[in-house]
Amino acid sequence: MALDFYYGSGSPFAWRVWLALEHKGIPYTFKLLSFDAGDHEKPAYTVVNPRHKVPAIVDGGFALYESAAIVEYLEEKKTGGARLFSADLRERATQRRLIREADSYFAPPMETMLEAVMEKKSPTEIAAAVHKMRAELVHWEAALDSDHLVGGLSAADFTLYPLVALIERIGQRNPVAMPADLLPPRVATWAARMRELPIVQKTLPPHWK
Ligand SMILES: N[C@@H](CCC(=O)N[C@@H](CS)C(=O)NCC(=O)O)C(=O)O
């Protein structure tokens, strides 16, 4: 039976889960929540995620939120076929580490920068946010020495890509505020490759299309 997947357009965390579902070929019913309509604050959803955030899934009555936990659940739910984590112990540990690093160290400055640009804060504030983002990107530039973050295409790529894609989108829409060279070369090349993947094309946030 298909599980319910609760999604909000533009959420990098929800996009990660969508990519994981598609990659593993797990059937799902797409439940698009509207942030503008406040769907994520309504009781029908807060019983699924009391933190009022997307993503979440409900699988046969079992509700789960927090994107990283959902991705691990999906991997263990369907063991055959495409994998989200490497079969190799050390690669798998590194993929998990990168996911935690993306959530702990990449997402916060990305969100601060997004807010500074979208809310048209002062040039000094935007420059400070961009500076912090640039400093974080240095770590990812160093981590990327092959086609994927670690081993083959994995949950680590599916975690980082939506965050990087958001940066690209903010940059395209605000070329004056955002430096064109913010993404370092290996990250930019990897992102361009990721963007060409059929599952990435299929799961582009609806309002971006
Ligand atoms: N740690 C959570 C973060 C989820 C999250 O922050 N979702 C945002 C969208 S990007 C959200 O639903 N925000 C709505 C709100 O805070 O009211 C996860 O990984 O699932």
Least-confidence region, from 22-31, 46-55, 143-152, 192-201: 143-152
pLDDT band at 29 (very low <50, low <70, confident <90, very high): very high
Distance CA 58, CA 138 (A): 37
One-character DSSP codes across 126-183: HHHHHHHHHHHHHHHHHH--SSSSSSSS-HHHHHHHHHHHHHHHHHHH-TTTS-TT-S
State if pTM tops 0.95: yes
pLDDT of residue 145: 82
Q: Give the phi and the psi of residue 147 in degrees, each rounded to 5.
A: -65, -30
Distance CA 53, CA 124 (A): 31
Domains of the chain: 3-77 (3.40.30.10), 89-208 (1.20.1050.10)
Structure confidence by residue, pLDDT tens digits, 118-165 = 999 999 999 999 999 999 999 999 999 899 999 999 999 999 999 999
49 lines ligand 1 (CB under 6 A): no
- Digit-coded pLDDT (tens) for 64-116: 999 999 999 999 999 999 999 999 999 999 999 999 999 999 999 999 999 99
Report CA(146)–ligand 1 centroid distance (Å).
30
Q: Provide the percentage of residues in the chain whose pLDDT is more than 70.
A: 100
Question: Does ligand 1 have an atom closer than 6 angstroms to the CB of 11?
Answer: yes
Give distance in angstroms: CA of 13 to centre of ligand 1: 7
Q: Ligand 1 centroid vs 24 CA: distance in angstroms?
A: 23
| Cβ 8 under 6 angstroms from ligand 1 | yes
